[in-house]
Amino acid sequence: MQTYRIRDDFIKLGQALKAAGFAESGVDAKYAVTDGLVKVNGAVCTQRGKKLVPGDVVEYRGQTLKIES
């Protein structure tokens, strides 16, 4: 499991996928999310702009990312 430390109160899902290296570009992140390939806290999430806060866990193609403050 990878961790990603945020400086603000939240990070958007698409930005987190890019920052963690799960997606090469914002376009790749957009399609991954809108195609239903990304889970947030165990549930499929199709909102690219979903705000992630510390404690949230993102799953994509066998990779896991935990958001920390």
- Running DSSP on this structure, what letter comes out for residue 50? P
The enclosing domain of 8 has a CATH number of: 3.10.290.10
**What percent of the chain clears pLDDT 70, i.e. is strictly above it?**
100
* Number of other residues whose CB lies within 10 A of the CB of residue 62: 5
Residue 17 has pLDDT above 90, yes or no: yes
Residue 46: which pLDDT band, with cuts at 50, 70 and 90? very high
Residue 48 has pLDDT above 90, yes or no: no
Burial 1-26 (b: 16+ CB within 10 A, else e): eeebebeeebbebbbbbbebebbeee
pTM of the model: 0.92
Number of domains composing the chain: 1
Q: 20 lies in which domain range?
A: 2-68
